Amino acid sequence: MAAKVYHVDYERDPDGRWVASVREVAGCHTQGRTLAQTRERIREALSLYDDDTDRAELRDQVKLPGPAQRLLAAYAATKQQAEASAAAAAAAAREAVRAIDVLQVSRRDAGELLGLSHQRVQQLVDDADRQRRTVKATRRLGQKVAAKRESALRRLVRPVAAHAHKR
């Protein structure tokens, strides 16, 4: 059974405390000094209305004044772009290390060329080697499975073929 999803709205009251309310459950609300404390307490409050709140998914909606909300959204978008760029840079570094490794350039020189430490270059080489071994092992396993499947099919076909010749 899929976990229930509850939407929780968080707002600051005039005294600076966080107030949380569950949209789907009328009267289910709590407050706390910090967001973390309020998140903990809203799950406890929800448990008074539903027995299975340990597995429930709580989707937070923190309501802040307009400018702060816009700045947080801009930050989240920028952070996501930075993570995507970092992933692309890491992939490019792995490819560059592979290309340089083929040329048998030392790890220190490779690091110098890439702007990485020689230790990081070694890690990337090790990761590439590990990945190649995994691919080879997966291929071998696939070949073994295919061979076993073919052998099993042959065993099934032989009795059928022998039975057909007896007729």
Q: Say if pTM beats, i.e. exceeds, 0.95.
A: no
Sign of CA dihedral 91, 93, 96, 102: negative
Low-confidence ranges of the chain (pLDDT < 50): none
Residue 35: the pLDDT is 96
Instruction: Please work out, in degrees rounded to the nearest 5, the angle formed at the alpha carbon of residue 60 by the alpha carbons of 72 and 62.
Output: 45
Residue 20 DSSP SS3:
strand
Residue 6: the pLDDT is 95
Residue 79: the pLDDT is 96
113 is written with which tokens?
């060329």
Express the helix, strand and coil content of the chain in percent, nearest 5 each: 65, 15, 20
- Residue 57 contacts residue 6 (beta carbons within 8 Å): yes
Bridge partner residues of 11 (DSSP): 19
Residue 117: the pLDDT is 94
**Cα dihedral value 115, 116, 118, 122, nearest 10:** -130
98 is written with which tokens?
């592979």
Residue 167: the pLDDT is 56
50-86 per-position pLDDT tens digit: 888 888 899 999 999 989 999 999 999 999 999 999 9
50 is written with which tokens?
């539903």
Residue 87: the pLDDT is 92
Fold classification of 5-63 (topology level): Double Stranded RNA Binding Domain (3.30.160)
Q: Where are the domains of the chain?
A: 5-63, 85-144
Strand order in the sheet with 29-32: 29-32, 18-22, 5-12, 57-62
